[in-house]
Structure 1
Amino acid sequence: MTLLPHPRTPGFDAVLCDIDGVIRFFDHTEVARLELAAGLPPGSTSAVAFGPETALPLILGQLTKEQWRDSITTGLATLARPAEARALATAFTGSPVRADQEVVELLRRARAHCPVLLVTNATPWLDDDLTRLGLADLADGAVNSALVGAAKPDRLIYQVAADRAGVAPERCLFVDDRRENVVAAEELGMTGVHFRGPADLRAALAPLSGLSA
């Protein structure tokens, strides 16, 4: 775990938390099965779905879900038969998801003590996804790159999150599974937590009453 409190003002008054890789996890079992059947290397569909021509437009809100699916189908067209490419794109964009309930509970308990905001590089349909997971009320709000027009590690999205929390960056605890995103937060003076599992979050939230490590 990386937990680097601000040297002048230890502690925090708001929690800013990533979603994917921390709270939400995708099950790509069916995608893996279809890739094997099509003779494709594991991860081929993901590589196309989040390729350089697709990833940024997706998380900046420039693609609908249908356009994203079509772009994956097109990208796989040189690797698989048309029907296989379409099936893979459909399976990938419709993959089942689950929420880590331990992380969810920690954030719910933290919210009783301070604002909690979700800060994520996500899609325009994030709100619908959170509703289906039963997490629409998990946080005080979501700072979504697709709506903000800036994606982590761009400093703008961190500043927007701090402003919405009503807290100076130096008083924010930022949690993310990607090290480069944590570093960007720390450069703004936030306390950074490089998340590798629920224990990291539990330890980071220990200063809050009732959330000791």
Structure 2
Amino acid sequence: MARERATALLVDFDGVLRRWDPAAVGEVERRYELPAGVLLETAMRWALLQPAVTGQVTHADWLATVTDALAVATGDPDRAKAAVTEWQLYRGEVDREVLDFVRAVRAAGVRVGLATNATDALDADLTALGLTDEFDEVINSSVLGAAKPSREYFTQACRLVGAAPARTLFVDDSDRAVAGARAAGLSAYRWTGPADLPYLRAALGL
């Protein structure tokens, strides 16, 4: 039996709407003579990141734990602090094709929620990137106290965007997040890049 057409869209932020240039991180690591890849490997450890994206600690607290871990790895606390500070100056770039898609979806009367695992720095990032008015809802895991791919996150996200799970389409570049959304009853699409947009437009009747 075919599903009813979605009346709401949930779109992931990092990896879908916001892109990160790996060269920016690589340049910081080279400048501070850090091993290639160590910044993100350290920062994205779930044990460090999970408290920040579920609202247990602030973005600043998370960066402090990242700095401490990097200091242990490098044996140089000052260099670790300087590298983390400079890394954080780069806030990514908006994929203009995805933003145009979001605007077209909203113009067609479909509600759009930004569905992201994020820290309390999200609002500042949206302001810096000029995105504050681009969504009907911003569903930030650190505000909800629950992160993707949990059922609790998706239940709250659907409630906030005002659509039943069965009438909500979720787009994310994470296999785990897509699987979690499907388990919670949403339609979910694994994002691979802007080449996916024609399919998504068709799925939403655009």
Is TM more than 0.5 here? yes
Q: What do residues 70-123 of structure 1 show as CA deviations (whole Å, max 9, x unaligned)?
A: 212111112322221111111222223110000000011101121001111001
1:7-86 equivalent positions in 2, closer than 5 A:
7-80=1-74, 81-86=76-81
**Would you say the 8 A contact 1:28–1:96 is kept in 2?**
no
Letter in 2 for 1:104: L
Match of 2:106 in 1: 111
Deviation at 1:189, TM superposition (A): 2.5
Match of 1:196 in 2: 192
Kept in 1, the 8 Å contact 2:171–2:189? The answer is: yes
Instruction: Please identify, of 137-146 and 25-34, the stretch whose mean Cα deviation from structure 2 is larger.
Output: 25-34
TM-score normalised to structure 1 length: 0.88
Structure 2: gaps spanning 5 or more residues: none
Q: Which amino acid aligns with 2:68?
A: T
Aligned to 1:96: 91
**Quick one: structure 1 residues 8 and 63, their matched pair in 2 at CA, closer, same or farther if it must change by over 3 Å?**
same
Deviation at 1:186, TM superposition (A): 1.4
- Given that 2:28 and 2:87 are in contact with CA atoms closer than 8 Å, whether structure 1 keeps it comes out as no
Distance 2:11 2:62 in 1: 25
Pairwise CA RMSD:
1.7
Aligned residues: 204
Shift of 1:26: 2.6
Contact in 1 for aligned 2:172/2:189 (Cα 8 Å): yes
- More off after superposition, 89-98 vs 16-25: 89-98
SS at match of 1:167: coil
SS in 2 for 1:78: helix
Q: If each structure's helix is expressed as a fraction of its own residues, which one has the higher value? A: 2
TM-score, L = length of structure 2: 0.91
